[in-house]
Amino acid sequence: MADDLERLVRRLHRRRIALRLTYRYLAGRPLSGRDGYPWRTRGAGRLAGWQRQAVRLGMPTAAGVAVVMPEQTLTAASALAVAAAWRGRQRLVRRRFHREYIAPTLAAIIPPLGLQTGVQLHVDPSLGNLTPRLAKPLSPAEEAARLFYGERIEPVLRWLPERVQRAAWAAQRRARPVTSRLEVFRRPGEELGPRIEVLIDTPYLTREQRQLVSSIIGSKIPVSDLVESWHQIGPRVRARWTVRKRPPAKVGHDQVLAHFPKLPDWEFYIGQGAGDVPVVISLREDSPHIAVSAGSGAGKSVLAELIAVQVLARGGRVTILDRKGSHRWALGQPGVDYCTRPEQMHDAILRKAALADERNTLALHEDEDWDPGPRDLVICEELNATIGQLANYWAEVRGKGDPKRSPAIAALADLLFMGRSAKVNVLAIAQMLTARAIGGPEARENFGIRCLARYTANNWKMLVPEASMPRASRTLGRWQVVIGGQATEVQVAYLTTAQARALATSPADLDKPLTSDVPGDGDMMTLRDAVDAGVLPWSYEAAKKRMQRRAGKVPAPRGNRGNADLYARADLAEWAGSKP
């Protein structure tokens, strides 16, 4: 009887062990019965419970299916092999990314902060060109394999996902009338996008520690033009670097009309910045002169035109030194002295230097806030070539006893040093504004406003070494305006020729075209404009006396600019040819 009872107990014990082993096998738990291996997360060097469960149940199932359906199993196995290879490649890339960026950066951050652990770093691979930096050069065999994959395999693999995506987009468009009304109930969330984020298990970091962390991030992770923010409320410190918001892709006539009339005489609207914020430069507060450096076709003349028409609209004058004819909008424009030949440029610069010297002399005997008169803007196009042409011209005409250096080049340097109080400003344009192109490094330091586009690292370091260099944009009209070592990304406003001429000629009515009583677009000029442009053969004082005596066929005024009357160019030319 006792033996039967003992055999029954052993049998029940064995059955209990078998049930436990079966449960542990199916549940993904260790067969030894040891605890401490969670089902969701992985243990130290071991699989998670769900992974172990998938292996234990999947392998017998796959074996049974392979016996029953060998052909379908082979197809499925091929698909799984492709997916496994793809996932393995992704995992290798992530491991290389972690080894190249994450691990070294953490190793550099943790010791200076005095922390053993408790620092988490997240870096989005989509930032900049971080992932392409890890790519190694391909061998000819690898290039051939990638070409074959791209031409033969990838189109087949992407056919179904693309169709599904297009169907989803079509469904979204169909549902838009309904979903658009539901957007009023959606709470705005924080759209982070690609970012670098550091979480530090400490409640506070000093300013020096924050600067150290920021310096390490900038040195170890080669991504520029990010916005840095710190959050120290709570038990942990969080630092985040996000992608800077970009200006709008296009800015035009409407934005100029909206912002320009509100500005004082010394401020100029040039375009929109990040967040669609207007960008304004000041020739009184920021700098009296502007340097423009960009590659060919970047829009240098567009930027110069935008500033010039604002000067003209306020009653000022513009002198353009332009050998190649980039400013056709200014031909015949009142208040514009367009110089295309070296002798014209030479004389024009000497006149402006004399004007600045005269105004500065008068300013000595006037109050501190004395206004010397309308603003004069000198636009020097392609300065690298213009300086050489002025030097060659002077070498040809220089007489015995004349100085070797061109007086025009010396006068241009004088304008850069004394133009602020005289309201004579220089806008220098060059593909690379070297010290030699502007007359020396001292003269170049007078440009407090520096605009760059399509720049190289060499050009940036030469012109604005004090500012950190953002990545050059390929968007047409996208500029970096550097003032006081701070670079601001700007989409410069674009004006057509008709819009520019209308804005420069009709400042009182900016949003309307020229009126019909104007004989031609840009043919209106004051008496002084006519003398300077050579339309009248007399001096300004002689022309005024002739008009007062009504000598000849005196033209009738067609309008006014400030206190000065405007006359038609054709009427002035007829008056100059008539006999008293």
Q: What is the pLDDT of residue 563?
A: 64
Q: What is the pLDDT of residues 279-294, one digit of tens each?
A: 999 888 777 889 898 8
Q: What is the pLDDT of residue 510?
A: 40
Out of 42, 68, 94, a domain closes at 68
Please check the confidence at residue 579 and state whether its pLDDT lies above 60: no
Lowest mean pLDDT among 333-342, 408-417, 521-530: 521-530
Please compute, for residue 417, the number of CA atoms within 13 A of its CA located in the half-sphere on the CB side. 13
Cα(284)–Cα(306) distance, integer angstroms: 18
Sheet holding 195-200, edge to edge: 119-123, 195-200, 237-243, 226-231
In this structure, is residue 506 part of a structural domain?
A: no
Cα(555)–Cα(420) distance, integer angstroms: 37
| Residue 430, beta-bridge partner list | 293
Cα(356)–Cα(365) distance, integer angstroms: 15
Out of 501, 528, 561, a domain closes at 501
Q: What is the pLDDT of residue 562?
A: 59
Strands (E), 265-316: 267-272, 278-282, 289-294
Let me know whether 389 and 474 are in one domain.
Answer: yes
Let me know whether 258 and 204 are in one domain.
Answer: no
Those residues with Cβ within 8 angstroms of residue 376's Cβ, 6 or more apart along the chain or in another chain:
316, 317, 318, 319, 352, 355, 356, 423, 424, 425
In this structure, is residue 361 part of a structural domain?
A: yes
Q: What is the pLDDT of residue 38?
A: 66
Let me know whether 412 and 495 are in one domain.
Answer: yes
Cα(528)–Cα(547) distance, integer angstroms: 13
Let me know whether 482 and 343 are in one domain.
Answer: yes
Let me know whether 126 and 30 are in one domain.
Answer: no
Let me know whether 308 and 274 are in one domain.
Answer: yes
Let me know whether 275 and 228 are in one domain.
Answer: no
Q: Give the pLDDT band (50/70/90) at residue 269.
A: very high
In this structure, is residue 550 part of a structural domain?
A: yes
For residue 22, the enclosing domain spans: 2-68
Sign of the torsion angle spanned by Cα atoms 9, 12, 16, 17: positive
Find, among 357, 352, 414, 343, the residue nearest to 379 by Cα.
Answer: 352
Please check the confidence at residue 271 and state whether its pLDDT lies above 90: yes
Place of tokens 């806008």: 427
Q: What is the pLDDT of residue 306?
A: 92
Helix (H, G, I), strand (E, B) or coil at 321: strand
Please check the confidence at residue 43 and state whether its pLDDT lies above 90: no
In this structure, is residue 449 part of a structural domain?
A: yes
Question: CATH no. for residue 109?
Answer: 3.30.980
Please compute, for residue 71, the number of CA atoms within 13 A of its CA located in the half-sphere on the CB side. 0
Q: What is the dihedral of CA 494, 498, 501, 503, to 10 degrees?
A: -60
% pLDDT > 90, the chain: 7
Find, among 318, 129, 325, 314, the residue nearest to 221 by Cα.
Answer: 129
Let me know whether 479 and 418 are in one domain.
Answer: yes
With beta carbons less than 8 A apart as the criterion, state whether 333 and 501 touch.
yes
In this structure, is residue 467 part of a structural domain?
A: yes
Q: What is the pLDDT of residue 399?
A: 84
Residue type, 349: I
Let me know whether 396 and 315 are in one domain.
Answer: yes
In this structure, is residue 159 part of a structural domain?
A: no
Q: Is 75 left (phi over 0), alpha (psi -120 to 50) or beta?
A: alpha
Give the DSSP per-residue string, 202-249.
SS---HHHHHHHHHHHHHHS---SEEEEEE--SSSEEEEEEEPPPPPS
Neighbours of 391 (CB within 10 A): 15
Let me know whether 126 and 232 are in one domain.
Answer: yes
Q: What is the pLDDT of residues 64-101, one digit of tens each?
A: 777 777 777 777 777 777 778 878 877 887 888 888 88
Q: What is the pLDDT of residue 539?
A: 77
Higher-scoring residue by pLDDT: 362, 493:
493
In this structure, is residue 22 part of a structural domain?
A: yes
In this structure, is residue 97 part of a structural domain?
A: yes
Let me know whether 413 and 488 are in one domain.
Answer: yes
Q: What is the mean pLDDT of the chain?
A: 80
Question: CATH no. for residue 268?
Answer: 3.40.50.300
Q: What is the pLDDT of residues 209-245, one digit of tens each?
A: 888 988 898 888 887 667 888 999 989 999 998 877 7
Let me know whether 262 and 409 are in one domain.
Answer: yes
Out of 476, 501, 526, a domain closes at 501
Please compute, for residue 206, the number of CA atoms within 13 A of its CA located in the half-sphere on the CB side. 5
Q: Give the pLDDT band (50/70/90) at residue 516.
A: very low
With beta carbons less than 8 A apart as the criterion, state whether 47 and 58 touch.
no
Average confidence (pLDDT) over 535-552: 79
Instruction: Give the chain's domain count.
Output: 4
Helix (H, G, I), strand (E, B) or coil at 518: coil
Q: What is the pLDDT of residue 42?
A: 62
